[in-house]
Structure 1
Amino acid sequence: MDDKLLSGSESASGPVMIKNGQVVLEDRITHVALTLAGGRIQSILEEPRSIEDWVRRNPQAFIIDANQSYVLPGLIDIHCDAIEKEIQPRPNTLFPLPMALIEFERKLPLHGITTMYHSLSLGVGLSLRGDHLLTEMVELIDRYRTKRSVVRNRIHLRYEVSHLAGLPIVERYLRNKQIHYLSFMDHSPGQGQYRKPGSFERYVMKNQGVDHNEVHAIVDDLAKRREQVDWGRLNVLGNLALQNGIAIASHDIDSRESIDQSASLGVKVCEFPINLETASYAVGRGLRVCVGAPNIVRGASHDNNLRAVDAISIGAADILCSDYHPSSMLAAVFKLADEGIAALPQAVRMASLHPAEALGTEDELGSIKPGKAADLIIVDRYEKLPWVTHAIVGGSIVYSACIRY
């Protein structure tokens, strides 16, 4: 890992033990003690005598009493564009990028997210998505994460395939290994997210404040650029990404044909399939399928597309992301377990181990296992809602909460 993680408190700089918690391992929940050292999970102690022996041999250890709360691996969010709202909370109100990044990052441990793939869009320009802001933000995160980080900051570059002028930018970032995840998007009218007649126009008018004449000009220009997409060049980008160990995703796919085309470009993750048939077909083709946690929390898609729980229930989705709402990740995990959609270890894997596997970091992140990075969260419940009491990244406590009743 090339992150420069902030050091924790002095008391947590040496050996650490977490005890008296319900530890969620890959396949079960168990009452054990975890020991951490050197930024990694050192051991899992399952016998009271072994716990006592460890404490005796490590008199300066920092002990965290989980007090019967859940101990989970830190959540890995592979798709979240909420940082765009941190930069521009209202139209025409841009905040300084360094301030936005720092303020957004320090919210993430509260939500249990210890690795964030900041999703930055290069393309259509329907919100905060101009090329200059995109490139400035990529460069900022790339510099920032090598100097100091509270969580593990990664970059998910979302490339709109009709944005022909963006091809050299994508290629540069791939060659320089400045991004960690790439998705190919197509937000043109008539397919995917905007397959319903008029839906694209309504979205643009609402978000950009343009009238009918202006939106028709936008649609006409997009249609012309869409016809000029060089799919051979995209295939070259896909090969370059795979050569550099960068996973590729599709976005808002709505048909088997689109899945086949995506797979030919090297796509390994299908994000937000529009319908259940497409999600099932993607799994059959060997793709991982990612659905949004807000969809689970709300019980429906905000665009009236696939219900995430329907896909999860039949094994047609195995990754959760926060999409646009980071606090939904942890809530979705526990809602899946509470409603019997998935056992808690399975639900946790969807937000930790499975994202790590999809992006090739499972040897380092994603589960509670000796030798892996000590990225952990301790989760209590209040009126059935989960909330994080401690967040640990690289063995350091980056957040702890005190509660008064």
Structure 2
Amino acid sequence: MSRRWVQNGQVVLPDRVVEADIVLEDGLITLIAEADQDRAQQRELAAEALRAGTGEVIDATGSYVLPGLIDIHCDAIEKEVQPRPNTLFPLKMSLIEFERKLPVHGITSMYHSLSLGVGLSLRGDHLLTEMVELIHAYRSRRAMIRHGIHLRYEVAHLEGLPIVERYIHEGKIDYLSFMDHSPGQGQYKEEGSFERYVMKNQGVDVYEVKEIVTDLLERQRQVDWRHLEALGRLAAERGISVASHDDDSAERVDQFIRFGVNISEFPMNLETARHATSRGLYVCVGAPNVVRGGSHDKNMSAAAAITAGAANVLCSDYHPAAMLAAVFKLAVLLERAGTEQGLAAATAMATLKPAQALGVDRLVGSLELGKKADLILVETFDGYPMVRRTLVNGTTVYESNTYFRAT
């Protein structure tokens, strides 16, 4: 039996922050000692184990102890595969190098967001299926963190539908979202916004983009929404969480609820976010939006939605480093808005709430007895949070306690 003691930390529980010691055994949290008597007893046991060479003490003095962050929507692996146009790197190298970065940011569960639709990098059928198979095989053999697969299906990509169906039946995906990035609605409601995006990101001219738009709108008209509804319900029945994406109206939310959706990703405005919340959906917003103080596309403010009670899940979207920074920024904003336990509430949005949304909260997402020992030690420097140590399943996968002053 392996036993570790995490001592002297400010432990972030689901509803409060307390000074406590945590005992980890065989990859699980077996005790959270808050009372002085319990802590003294555990320290005696820890000292005995150290003398016998059968235990480890992790000193969390000066640090917060948080559950490992759970990122349910992040497409940053696409940039690892293709950091510049026309520069595809080997998929195995990309996955392994991307994985090594995540514990540094405190992310212990990553649901890689892979887009099935016409586009750049991994967004074509061939590379996407290769990456799904690679992640599925890799995570069963060895891993630094917990890997999940979030399949983002562009509904107008008609040829991709059999791939979605196959992965649902094979159980190779953990999360499915329906996307519709056609012009005139959702993210591209403003006239000309879709055309500008495509010309910028795919390097096409105004004539080529007209052909792309014409083709996309024709494909969108051919979407069999009843088939997609049945597919969403099948996924939900098999324990795969289902999400809508870029909802821009209450009617859109209601439509996708019929698809078995339990998550609304990035609603376009506060009214839609509030409606999704009122219908019992988890509402996911981006950590970069919180950190930057607003949407890069001039859409809904994530912080405004959270403080209004209209959003409750944080994801990194495209920038994993933003997750932890957003948690600590939100803690301050929530306390200013009247939340007594701001850090606990903000942490839950990046840990417990996403775990609940994906149905894995029995195992991960909070520091509670019997759950997996996924946790991070975080210290702050001038108010900015930095990870000192990351443990997954009770094993240290990242540690950095040494800094020097340049001269």
Short-chain TM bin = over 0.9
Matches within 5 A, 1:236-251: 236-251=230-245
The corresponding residue for 2:350 is 351
Relative to the length of structure 2, the TM-score reads: 0.95
Contact 2:80 2:94 survives alignment (8 Å): yes
CA distance in 2, matches of 1:171, 1:149: 27
Give, in angstroms, the shift of residue 373 of structure 1: 0.2
Give, in angstroms, the shift of residue 395 of structure 1: 0.6
Give, in angstroms, the shift of residue 68 of structure 1: 2.3
CA distance in 2, matches of 1:20, 1:402: 16
CA distance in 2, matches of 1:212, 1:270: 33
Contact 1:80 1:117 survives alignment (8 Å): yes
CA distance in 2, matches of 1:210, 1:108: 34
CA distance in 2, matches of 1:277, 1:108: 34
1:255 aligns with 2:243: no
The corresponding residue for 2:26 is 38
CA distance in 1, matches of 2:323, 2:160: 31
Matches within 5 A, 1:284-295: 284-295=278-289
Contact 1:127 1:208 survives alignment (8 Å): no
Please point out which of 154, 162, 171 is paired with 2:156.
162
Secondary structure (helix, strand or coil) at the match of 2:87 reads coil
Please point out which of 103, 110, 115 is paired with 2:109.
115
1:221 aligns with 2:215: yes
Contact 1:109 1:151 survives alignment (8 Å): yes
Give, in angstroms, the shift of residue 354 of structure 1: 0.2
Q: How big is each residue's C-alpha offset from its partner over 1:233-281, in whole Å with a ceiling of 9 and x where there is no partner? A: 1012112101210000011110111101110101100000000000000
Q: How big is each residue's C-alpha offset from its partner over 1:206-237, in whole Å with a ceiling of 9 and x where there is no partner? A: 00100011000000000000000001110121
CA distance in 2, matches of 1:182, 1:163: 15
Relative to the length of structure 1, the TM-score reads: 0.95
CA distance in 1, matches of 2:401, 2:45: 27
Please point out which of 21, 45, 51 is paired with 1:54.
45
The corresponding residue for 1:361 is 360
Please point out which of 92, 97, 120 is paired with 2:86.
92
Moved more, 231-240 or 344-353: 231-240
Secondary structure (helix, strand or coil) at the match of 1:133 reads helix
Give, in angstroms, the shift of residue 286 of structure 1: 0.8
Moved more, 101-110 or 341-350: 341-350
The corresponding residue for 1:8 is none
Contact 2:285 2:314 survives alignment (8 Å): yes
What amino acid is the match of 1:386? P
Give, in angstroms, the shift of residue 126 of structure 1: 4.8
Contact 1:21 1:69 survives alignment (8 Å): yes
Contact 1:126 1:204 survives alignment (8 Å): no
The corresponding residue for 2:266 is 272
Please point out which of 5, 13, 16 is paired with 2:4.
16
In structure 1, runs of 5+ residues without a counterpart are 1-12
Give, in angstroms, the shift of residue 57 of structure 1: 5.2
Moved more, 336-345 or 192-201: 336-345
Secondary structure (helix, strand or coil) at the match of 1:300 reads coil
Matches within 5 A, 1:293-372: 293-339=287-333, 340=335, 343-372=342-371
Contact 2:286 2:316 survives alignment (8 Å): yes
CA distance in 2, matches of 1:280, 1:31: 35
Contact 2:244 2:263 survives alignment (8 Å): yes
What amino acid is the match of 1:32? A
The corresponding residue for 2:195 is 201
Aligned residues between the structures: 393
Secondary structure (helix, strand or coil) at the match of 1:100 reads helix
Secondary structure (helix, strand or coil) at the match of 2:141 reads coil
CA distance in 2, matches of 1:89, 1:97: 12
The corresponding residue for 1:10 is none
Matches within 5 A, 1:120-139: 120-126=114-120, 128-139=122-133
Contact 1:182 1:249 survives alignment (8 Å): yes
Contact 2:117 2:157 survives alignment (8 Å): yes
Moved more, 52-61 or 199-208: 52-61
The corresponding residue for 1:148 is 142
1:180 aligns with 2:174: yes
Give, in angstroms, the shift of residue 194 of structure 1: 0.3
CA distance in 2, matches of 1:264, 1:170: 18
The corresponding residue for 1:29 is 17
CA distance in 1, matches of 2:146, 2:15: 25
Contact 1:127 1:207 survives alignment (8 Å): no
Give, in angstroms, the shift of residue 52 of structure 1: 2.7
Kindly, what percent of the aligned residue pairs are identical?
Answer: 60
Contact 2:315 2:323 survives alignment (8 Å): yes
Give, in angstroms, the shift of residue 128 of structure 1: 3.8
CA distance in 2, matches of 1:127, 1:223: 22
Q: How big is each residue's C-alpha offset from its partner over 1:294-338, in whole Å with a ceiling of 9 and x where there is no partner? A: 000000101000000110011000000000000000000000112
Contact 2:154 2:178 survives alignment (8 Å): yes
